């Protein structure tokens, strides 16, 4: 008898050997895919957490900025009101001084005019 295996058996053993290798490779690929899937889920959860933290920080920063703007506007309004009061007070004081100076100048001018007229009248009448 022939010690060689029939061709079909050799082919079946060859296919079985290849299928075992393919199965081992597939099992390795499935394990790697599971690891990748797990790491993707962890990365997604981490990313979601990071996004939520960043959103919370942005909301907090926005609130702080809004409060700072409101405080600045309030200070600005108070400063403008104070400046307006000071300007009105200075204007009123300047007007009072101007009225007094005008009255004194008018009085001096009237006195000088009256004295000049009296002197002219005196020279015309006496002279």
Give the start-to-end residue ranges of the domains of the chain. 1-93
Mean pLDDT across the stretch 75-98?
95
Cα–Cα distances in angstroms (integers) from residue 31 to residues 25, 35, 41, 42, 66, in the given order:
10, 6, 15, 16, 52
Q: How many Cα atoms are found within 13 Å in the side-chain-facing hemisphere of 84?
A: 6
Tokens encoding 104: 């004194």
Is the pLDDT confidence value at 4 over 80? no
Per residue in 13-63, pLDDT (tens digit) is: 777 777 888 888 899 999 999 999 999 999 888 999 999 999 999 999 999
Instruction: Tell me the pTM.
Output: 0.49
Mean pLDDT across the stretch 58-69?
97
């Amino acid at each position: 008898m022939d010690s060689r295996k029939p061709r079909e058996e050799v082919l079946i053993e060859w296919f079985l050997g290849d299928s075992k290798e393919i199965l081992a490779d597939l099992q390795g690929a499935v394990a790697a895919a599971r690891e990748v899937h797990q790491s993707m889920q962890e990365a997604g959860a981490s990313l979601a957490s990071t996004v939520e933290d960043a959103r919370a920080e942005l909301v907090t920063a926005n609130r702080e900025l809004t409060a700072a703007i409101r405080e600045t506007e309030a200070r600005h309004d108070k400063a403008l009101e104070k400046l307006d009061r000071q300007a009105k007070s200075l204007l009123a004081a300047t007007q009072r001084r101007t009225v007094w100076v005008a009255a004194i100048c008018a009085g001096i001018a009237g006195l000088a005019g009256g004295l000049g007229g009296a002197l002219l009248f005196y020279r015309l009448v006496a002279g």
